[in-house]
Structure 1
Amino acid sequence: VPRAELEAVARAVLPKFMADDVDPAAWAAFGACEGRRVVVTRMPRVMVEWFAREHLGAHDVVGCDLEYSRLRRCTGFLKGGGDEAVTDRVRVLFRDGDRPDLGLGRSEMARSFLPFCKEQLQPPLSVDDDDDDVARRPKCPPFRPVIFHDGRLVRRPTALMSIAILLWIPLGVLLAVVRITLGLVLPIQALPYVAPFVGGAVITRGRPPAPTTGINGSPTGVLFVCTHRTLMDPVALAFVLGRRVAAVTYSLSRLSEILSPIPTVRLTRDRDTDAARMRAELARGDVAVCPEGTTCREPFLLRFSALFAELSDRIVPVATNYRVGLFHPTTARGWKAMDPIFFFMNPRPVYEVTFLNQLPAEATCAAGRSPVDVANYVQRILAATLGFECTTFTRKDKYRVLAGNDGIVGAKPAATAAAAATKPGWQRRVKEVLGFLRFTKID
């Protein structure tokens, strides 16, 4: 495994599972330390360091190291993982005879660094009676919560869970093929009657708006502003409405566009061009837009783009959410063409669609409000409906954490583009095919 791949997994996948294991009482003691905070682990340091520094506020991480070959690939061997080696490294951090004031660890660490500490605490940890509120705090706060994470597995891959997932995959693939085929073959009005027989459910709340017509009888489109949980948000919306709804997309893979049972409108990230395309689509009928620009798995809403507020005054906010048991249907680093397949591979995927009232005229740009104010207002009411928290994070912030780039499709340096042009024809063709599945060209 390349070293860069291990570092990416430690940054994008592992923090979510580690955050779920944080003991509130242990964090109350660790977070209260005002001096130097050190995390000692038996895991390879590269797998823990990002989480410890970014989410626990640790200054140093002590653990074993992985060995790498000359090609910077992991060999699987560890070095420097003995108790004496760990204690020596902790001593180096606390020079001049100084010792850590407090040591937190399990009983198996009693021969490691704990004897070096002035005070030792082992689980089960307890707090003072006056600190009961601290003990009942949520898992993530007050340390930085894990907002962005990647990876396909919803559950921790323990031994039993890994076996169960491996046994389910063949049946899940077959089930996904059946579900996708039915969605493409049957009319959208018939899908609500078929869905219960193939597993899954769509829960609807609120009153969906009825189709409207203009003065001359031509359809006038409703702009549905949805939260962005998965690529299935517009599909679930059309499923509930039982009529044509065009979905505005940006980084949707070509394969997902082919499999989509509803029309899609690909954006370019050019404001004028995108506005013209969305206005043209609104003239034909209803349009679903996700102003966050990318998905977020956790109960947070990213910053809303204000472009939608400039296009129409007939805005209907729609709060969408989903529940799956085995596989996440979103990814930042993986193959986006697999998103719908992983969604339908879950034993019983559930979607929740909540319709809010259409924005009153005084809450739109027609009343003189700025597009940013309208976008922020819609974000707040959708977050309140779902019980989520509003943030100012953007697509760029997410992709910088998970993928190490800005999330711009097709963007690459000129030197890289020139080098790609000199490759043999068969290599360029393979890259094009892989890019078709992934959604962008691969350097």
Structure 2
Amino acid sequence: MTVMESKPIESNVVELEGSLIREPDPFPYLMLVAFEASGLIRFALLLLVWPIVRFLGLLGLRDAGFKLAVFIAVVGVRISDIEFVGRAVLPKFYMDHIDMDGWRVFSGYGKKVVASKTPRVMVEWFAKHHLGADQVIASELGVNRFGRATGLLTNVDVVLSQVQTLVSENELVCIPYQFCFKTRCANLFISLNIHPPSLVHLQKQQSQKNQPLPVIFHDGRLVMFPKPAIALLILVWFPIGVIIAIIRFIIALALPICVLPYENLIYGILTKVRGDPPKSLLKSDSSSGVLLVCNHRAFMDPAVIATVLGRKISAVTYSLSRVTEILAPLQTIRLTRDRDVDAKKIEDELKKGDTFICPEGTTCREPFLLRFSALFTELTDRIVPVALNYKPTLFHPTTARGWKGFDPIFFFMNPFCYYEVIFLDQLSVEDTCSGGKSSYDVANDVQRKMAATLGFECTNLTRKDKYMFLKGNDGRV
């Protein structure tokens, strides 16, 4: 069927929930806000309210149930904390539920408008920076003079009327989304009156290579999307996890060095090792230090490699907590981010033996590698790249906010976690600075090899970019 000649494709208005996002229920996202912006008590309270929200929905009072859930989730919470969650936590979960077919149709227009009853503070960053929306029509969250949320939505009832006004002014035509893709019932308003199947075919042809802007920096503690059943599991496990964490703490402090190879099992770490480490790494030889260069997934990276090798190694780190340093089954050396001072520290450790370093300088959870600092390439030509991947079950151990002393607690609270350790070949002398290559070329080569091994993507983003983004000062990520 051919497309009818009409007005050019200029603009559209699309509902976020159910059209662009496959998950139409905003409740799990409110659970994320409750946990990450406030804590476990509010998380539990919101879950207790869920049956009431569902009952109101069955009575046809869905808006009332939604307002109640929003009130419980955010009342009294600093608006800056909610903004942080909307920028650093929610986009990951929104992206996990994105409907690519719906997004391709949406992305084929000039002006793109996203409508949602969810508070603007929760959806605007994702809609504009990841989906490319030009305008967001959403409810507004009330804020008192102390910068805390009142829990009241000021215009949730007029979102639909705003959409209808925009549709009328721009002479847009409504196409039921379920008619296009036969999956859900939501509304897609477009500026071209053509047959829906032809529209879908046209937009898929135009946008099949397009992708939303990926989520690179993700923060927060929760790993799983907290639908009510998962949220209940988290609540039930939390006290059990605390007890298990305490037991693991005690064991970690009491264990002698001879049981180092078995510590991963005690910590609940399921480890898969690929590749063969150089023979020099399997024995302690203080006269020939090798620099193990790794990507950074979690603060336990050096401890996992030490247990895989079956002996202690030194690890140079940037920002471990004192609690983590006490529990670590290896020596940790703090770097200062002063290039000359740090170079001297690393060289001294290499003279003593094998040393571990993460040139990214900070953790990255998503399948991306941050730019590698080139300092390590200037200190030795004995470099062994080690690619790491880490997957927890319930809780992320590291976040950019809060006290870092909680990191090992959340790590040990996981029932188990999965580590993949991949030893790559030691760099030949010709591939190091001693072979005439620049330090930046060597660092980039190591980054590319690790990314190819893990199936990750290289970036030019740095630790500074990460923390500027999490603070809301960098709009380019």
- Among candidates 352, 357, 360, match of residue 428 of structure 2: 360
In the other structure, the counterpart of 2:57 is none
In the other structure, the counterpart of 2:339 is 271
The CA RMSD measured in Å over matched residues stands at 3.0
- Among candidates 86, 100, 103, match of residue 24 of structure 1: 100
User: 1:260, CA displacement in angstroms?
Assistant: 1.5
Q: Deviations over 1:304-348 (max 9, x none)?
A: 000000111110000111121111112112322222221221111
- Among candidates 56, 70, 78, match of residue 131 of structure 2: 56
In the other structure, the counterpart of 1:208 is 277
Check whether the contact 1:102–1:120 (CA below 8 A) recurs between aligned residues: no
Check whether the contact 1:302–1:392 (CA below 8 A) recurs between aligned residues: yes
- Among candidates 297, 310, 315, match of residue 247 of structure 1: 315
- Among candidates 162, 181, 204, match of residue 89 of structure 1: 162
Q: TM-score, normalised by structure 1?
A: 0.81
Please tell me whether residue 142 in structure 1 is matched to residue 211 in structure 2.
Answer: yes
With over 3 angstroms needed to count, the CA separation of the structure-2 counterparts of 1:28 and 1:404, relative to structure 1, is: closer
Please tell me whether residue 153 in structure 1 is matched to residue 202 in structure 2.
Answer: no
In the other structure, the counterpart of 2:246 is 177
Give distance in 2, aligned partners of 1:43 and 1:129: 31
Give distance in 2, aligned partners of 1:153 and 1:125: 41
Structure (1 or 2) with the greater helix fraction: 2
- Among candidates 377, 387, 392, match of residue 319 of structure 1: 387
Q: TM-score, normalised by structure 2?
A: 0.76
In the other structure, the counterpart of 2:84 is 8
Check whether the contact 2:92–2:215 (CA below 8 A) recurs between aligned residues: yes
- Among candidates 135, 140, 143, match of residue 65 of structure 1: 140
Give distance in 2, aligned partners of 1:293 and 1:378: 15
Detail structure 1 runs of 4+ shifted over 6 Å in the superposition. 114-118, 132-135
User: 1:182, CA displacement in angstroms?
Assistant: 2.5
Give distance in 2, aligned partners of 1:116 and 1:130: 12
With over 3 angstroms needed to count, the CA separation of the structure-2 counterparts of 1:403 and 1:101, relative to structure 1, is: same
Q: Deviations over 1:32-76 (max 9, x none)?
A: 11x211000011111100000000000110011111222121111
Check whether the contact 1:257–1:264 (CA below 8 A) recurs between aligned residues: yes
Check whether the contact 1:173–1:341 (CA below 8 A) recurs between aligned residues: yes
- Among candidates 170, 174, 181, match of residue 98 of structure 1: 170
Check whether the contact 2:116–2:159 (CA below 8 A) recurs between aligned residues: no
Give distance in 2, aligned partners of 1:402 and 1:74: 20
Matched residue count: 392
In the other structure, the counterpart of 1:345 is 413
Task: Report the secondary structure of 1:262's partner residue.
Answer: coil
Which residue identity is paired with 2:337? Answer: R
With over 3 angstroms needed to count, the CA separation of the structure-2 counterparts of 1:290 and 1:116, relative to structure 1, is: closer
Give distance in 2, aligned partners of 1:204 and 1:125: 50
Give distance in 2, aligned partners of 1:381 and 1:346: 30
Give distance in 2, aligned partners of 1:352 and 1:386: 9
User: 1:188, CA displacement in angstroms?
Assistant: 4.2
User: 1:132, CA displacement in angstroms?
Assistant: 8.4
Give distance in 1, aligned partners of 2:140 and 2:421: 47
In the other structure, the counterpart of 2:40 is none
Unaligned regions of 5+ residues in structure 2, if any?
1-76, 179-183
Unaligned regions of 5+ residues in structure 1, if any?
407-443
Please tell me whether residue 310 in structure 1 is matched to residue 378 in structure 2.
Answer: yes
User: 1:258, CA displacement in angstroms?
Assistant: 1.8
Give distance in 1, aligned partners of 2:321 and 2:200: 51
Which residue identity is paired with 2:162? Answer: R
With over 3 angstroms needed to count, the CA separation of the structure-2 counterparts of 1:356 and 1:331, relative to structure 1, is: same
Check whether the contact 1:325–1:346 (CA below 8 A) recurs between aligned residues: yes
